[in-house]
C-alpha cells in the first residue's frame, strides 16, 4: 500500500513539516528580517547536506559545465525567487493569506504550460481538482478579510507563483536523472549564491543566535536561545521537508504534486489554531474540506494525466 502511494506519502509529509515549522518561523521572525531567514535556510541546507554527501557519496553531486546554466536557473528561480516574491508580498503589507493563495495558483500555470507549451494532455479531472483546491484555500484564508492591495506586493506574490510553477516543472524533469538530495544541494547552492550577493554575509545580524526568544502561544513565557530555533528551522523546516517533496515528486507529475502542496496552508492553519489559539469558523472548516477534496481529485486524475 505504501509503495503504491509513496509519492503522496512523501509530499504530505513534506507539507506537514513545512506547516509545523511555521510556528518556529513565526517566533524567529520577531527577531530576524524575513529575507535574512530565507538566506539562512538556503546556506545552512547546503552546508548540512553538502558536507554529508561530500563525505559519503560525492559522486552524486558531480556535474559537467553544460549543466551549470540549467541548475543555476533551477536554484535561483525555483528556490530563491519563490521565497523572495513571497516575502516581498508580506513585507509590503499584503495579508499572508492572500499571498499564499496567489502563490498556489502555480497549479494553474503548470497545467497551462503542460497543455499549451508541451502540447500534452491534461485530464478534465485535474482542472476540477485545481479549481476546488484554490477555492478551498480562499475559504480557509478568508481572503476577503483585511484585504490590502499593493502593486509591488501583489507583483511579488505573482512572481512567487510563476517561480513555484517553474520549481515543480523543473524538479520533475531534472529529478529523473538526479537523486533528491543532490537536487536539493544544487537548488539551495545556487539560491545561496543569490542571497549572499543580495545580502552580504558580513552584514548578517549574528546576535539573533544568542537572543532569548519567547515561544508564545501555549508556551507563552518560555524562553529558548535563538540558535536552537534556528537549528530547528534549518533541519525540520528546510532540509527534511524539501527532501520529502523532491522524493515524492519522483513518482508523481508536477501538476499533481502542486495540488497536494496546497495541503500546507491548511495544516499551517491547524497548527496555528492549536499553538496560537487562532480558532476556525464554519467557512474555514468547509474550505479545508474543499482543499482535501481537490487533492483527492488530483490524485485520482494522475492515472489519466499524460504529460
Give whole-number Cα distances, 204 to 36, 67, 233, 238, in Å.
7, 31, 17, 19
The string over 182-220, giving b where at least 16 C-beta atoms fall within 10 Å of a residue's C-beta and e elsewhere, is bbbbbbbbbbbbbbeeeeeeeebeeebbebebebebeee
Residue 146 confidence (pLDDT): 64
The answer to the question of residue 306 being in a domain is no
CA gap 113, 161 in Å, rounded: 13
The answer to the question of residue 1 being in a domain is no
Q: What is the mean pLDDT of residues 296-300?
A: 89
Q: Which residue has the higher pLDDT, 205 or 125?
A: 205
Q: What is the mean pLDDT of residues 142-147?
A: 71
Residue 305 confidence (pLDDT): 45
Share of the chain above pLDDT 70, in %: 96
Residue 306 confidence (pLDDT): 44
CA gap 256, 236 in Å, rounded: 24
**CB neighbourhood size of 274 (10 A):** 12
SS3 track for the chain: CCCCCHHHHHHHHHHHHHHHHHHHHHHHCCCCCHHHHHHHHHHHHHHHHHHHHHHHCHHHHCCCHHHHHHHHHHHHHHHHHHHHHHHHHHHCCCCHHHHHHHHCCHHHHHHHHHHHHCCCCCCHHHHHHHHHHHHHHHHHHCCCCCCCCCHHHHHHHHHHHHHHHHHHHHHHHHCCCCCHHHHHHHHHHHHHHHHHHHCCHHHCCHHHHCCEEECCHHHCCCEEEHHHHHHHHHHHHHHHHHHHHHHHHCCCCHHHHHHHCCHHHHHHHHHHHHHHCCCCCHHHHHHHHHHHHHHHHHHHHCCCCCC
pLDDT in tens, 172-226: 999 988 999 999 999 999 999 999 999 999 999 999 999 999 999 999 999 999 9
Q: What is the mean pLDDT of residues 233-252?
A: 95
The answer to the question of residue 119 being in a domain is yes
Q: What is the mean pLDDT of residues 131-140?
A: 92
pLDDT in tens, 160-172: 999 999 999 999 9
Give the range of the structural domain holding residue 90, as residue numbers without chain letter: 6-301
Residue 307 confidence (pLDDT): 43
The answer to the question of residue 128 being in a domain is yes
The answer to the question of residue 94 being in a domain is yes
The answer to the question of residue 196 being in a domain is yes
Q: How does residue 302 score in pLDDT terms, banded at 50, 70 and 90?
A: low
Name the domain count of the chain: 1
pLDDT in tens, 92-118: 888 777 888 889 999 999 999 999 999
**CB neighbourhood size of 221 (10 A):** 7
Residue 303 reports pLDDT greater than 60: no
Q: How does residue 2 score in pLDDT terms, banded at 50, 70 and 90?
A: low
Q: How does residue 71 score in pLDDT terms, banded at 50, 70 and 90?
A: very high
Q: What is the mean pLDDT of residues 38-63?
A: 95
Residue 84 confidence (pLDDT): 94
Residue 96 confidence (pLDDT): 79
Amino acid at each position: 500500500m505504501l509503495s503504491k502511494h509513496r509519492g503522496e506519502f512523501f509530499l504530505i509529509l513534506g507539507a506537514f513539516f513545512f506547516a509545523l515549522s511555521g510556528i518556529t518561523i513565526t517566533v524567529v521572525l520577531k527577531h530576524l528580517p524575513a529575507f535574512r531567514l530565507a538566506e539562512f535556510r538556503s546556506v545552512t541546507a547546503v552546508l548540512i547536506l553538502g558536507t554529508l554527501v561530500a563525505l559519503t557519496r560525492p559522486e552524486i553531486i558531480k556535474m559537467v559545465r553544460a549543466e551549470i546554466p540549467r541548475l543555476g536557473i533551477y536554484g535561483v528561480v525555483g528556490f530563491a525567487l519563490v521565497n523572495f516574491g513571497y516575502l516581498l508580498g508580506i513585507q509590503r503589507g499584503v495579508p499572508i493569506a492572500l499571498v499564499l493563495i496567489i502563490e498556489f495558483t502555480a497549479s494553474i500555470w503548470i497545467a497551462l504550460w503542460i497543455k499549451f507549451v508541451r502540447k500534452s494532455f491534461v485530464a478534465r479531472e485535474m482542472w476540477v481538482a485545481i479549481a476546488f483546491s484554490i477555492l478551498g484555500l480562499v475559504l480557509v484564508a478568508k481572503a476577503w478579510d483585511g484585504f490590502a492591495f499593493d502593486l509591488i506586493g501583489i507583483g511579488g506574490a505573482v512572481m512567487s507563483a510563476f517561480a513555484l510553477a517553474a520549481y515543480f516543472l523543473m524538479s520533475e524533469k531534472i529529478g529523473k536523472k538526479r537523486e533528491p538530495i543532490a537536487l536539493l544541494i544544487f537548488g539551495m547552492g545556487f539560491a545561496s549564491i543569490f542571497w549572499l550577493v543580495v545580502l552580504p554575509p558580513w552584514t548578517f545580524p549574528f546576535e539573533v543566535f544568542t537572543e532569548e526568544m519567547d515561544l508564545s502561544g501555549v508556551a507563552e513565557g518560555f524562553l529558548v536561545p535563538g540558535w536552537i530555533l534556528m537549528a530547528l528551522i534549518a533541519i525540520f523546516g528546510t532540509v527534511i521537508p524539501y527532501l520529502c517533496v523532491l522524493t515524492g515528486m519522483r513518482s508523481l507529475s508536477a501538476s499533481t504534486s502542486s495540488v497536494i502542496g496546497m495541503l500546507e496552508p491548511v495544516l499551517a492553519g491547524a497548527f496555528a489554531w492549536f499553538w496560537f489559539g487562532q480558532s476556525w469558523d464554519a467557512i474555514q472548516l468547509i474550505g479545508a474540506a474543499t482543499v482535501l477534496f481537490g487533492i483527492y481529485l488530483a490524485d485520482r486524475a494522475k492515472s489519466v494525466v499524460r504529460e
